[in-house]
Structure 1
């Protein structure tokens, strides 16, 4: 079979998440049963049905390609793989908060990774790939040019976990930046790509939380790494930094890894 172009994968990610969003929205503000997984995170029938729909659509368009999803694990051991988070922000979803997202990307360590961040309840999709650019609902977007943390709009994700496990880092972050907000899962990263937020510090993530997002942020001209400034991989430790510019990224690195 001929190789699949990044543009074809990006188009597929946008179209597949549009279809899968219909499944998620059928359950939004209708959740009656919530289960707890081994890691104490919640899961609903919406998570599972949405991921199943995405997998079926991927299988139809890219038969045999590896897939790594939050709810159904990995098929295949190739590092070039589709990555799925069917509902990023299940707690928001359960609470009826419209800031949950849906993540789908193709991770290609040796080539062009693509990603889509869909916000079903907001009617927004952010998508991008290196060399192709980034878009929100089809309109080009780019990260801001903010270079000073003192003037930055900073989102701090997983603030409760961060305060418990990294109290010094958390204390430093909440005293930094010109504007601070406790974040909302993937949406803050999407807003960095769109240029309305300048940085996000995130914590305790899995590959399906950060790899599709990183593709979009970087396509928009931003930076997303781990807390040591290293590129994100399937084996990263789940602590991430997203920044609009290298200067801002360097200042954040000093805060989280003094």
Structure 2
């Protein structure tokens, strides 16, 4: 028997239907104190897209196993190098925390980079991967850019300036999380189940998913962006690094959502992540804490 769709009239008042119409937000954002950083981050994404797009599907792509048994390619390193070059030229006093080429402590301003989030997809030819660019200022995430050229999409946000989907400030749509407020009407995405087993929480997770409307595995950055744009309502992962989350946090929160670790502590500092539309956050934590 098929489950009831949240398009049914019984919950029309709480089911959010995203509407996208690209327009310019430059006039609205130009006064934001991090406007210049946002425009720089978007230009960094352009530089990254050139590298990643050229290497995706390349027959001579070089792949190695890192000590944690995750893959790294020549494209990962080349992309991070390109991003670091832009930072060195434009923000020479800022520190950089990157997945492949060094994790510096913050100097007050720190760029947090994942050159290719979804490297396993990248290696196998699955077009769901992205470059993640976050800016941390005084331990607060103030800018986030997620660029996925083979999904033909980009998401970005700036502190107190909203969250957007589009290639740049002049061609974007404002995005917002859903209004779903009951788990039985909620859609959730996961990356895998293995990490939950290692954490000892897989049974709790399965109990949660048994009480949802829908479960899918979009994975990696994409599930968090789908939360931010209101297409799904919950995304969670039990094992993450700072570079996996830093760019995501401003986008989810500026879209009206909530991003914490699995204990409910705000931000990307806990080594794991839970993003929701906010209305469902406490209910999800009741299962996963």
**TM-score, normalised by the number of residues in structure 1:** 0.91
Deviations 1:105-159 (A, max 9, x none): 1012455611001112112110002210111001111111111111111011233
**How many residue pairs align between the two structures?**
251
- Is 1:172 paired with 2:207? yes
280, 284, 289: which one aligns with 1:248: 280
Instruction: Rate the CA distance shift 1:55–1:229 in 2: closer, same or farther, 3 A.
Output: same
- Is 1:37 paired with 2:66? yes
Alignment-derived partner of residue 223 in structure 1: 258
Which consecutive unaligned segments of at least 5 residues does structure 2 have? 1-31, 167-171
The Cα shift of 1:76 comes to: 4.7
103, 114, 121: which one aligns with 2:150: 121
Greater Rg over alpha carbons, structure: 2
The Cα shift of 1:14 comes to: 1.4
Q: Would you say the 8 A contact 1:101–1:119 is kept in 2? A: yes
CA distance in 2, matches of 1:129, 1:145: 22
Q: Would you say the 8 A contact 2:64–2:72 is kept in 1? A: yes
Alignment-derived partner of residue 88 in structure 1: 117
CA distance in 2, matches of 1:76, 1:237: 16
173, 184, 194: which one aligns with 1:150: 184
The Cα shift of 1:171 comes to: 2.1
SS of residue matched to 1:186? helix
121, 126, 139: which one aligns with 1:97: 126
Q: Would you say the 8 A contact 1:158–1:183 is kept in 2? A: no
**TM-score, normalised by the number of residues in structure 2:** 0.82
Alignment-derived partner of residue 55 in structure 2: 27
SS of residue matched to 1:121? coil
CA distance in 2, matches of 1:141, 1:5: 21
C-alpha root-mean-square deviation of aligned residues, in Å? 1.7
The Cα shift of 1:226 comes to: 0.6
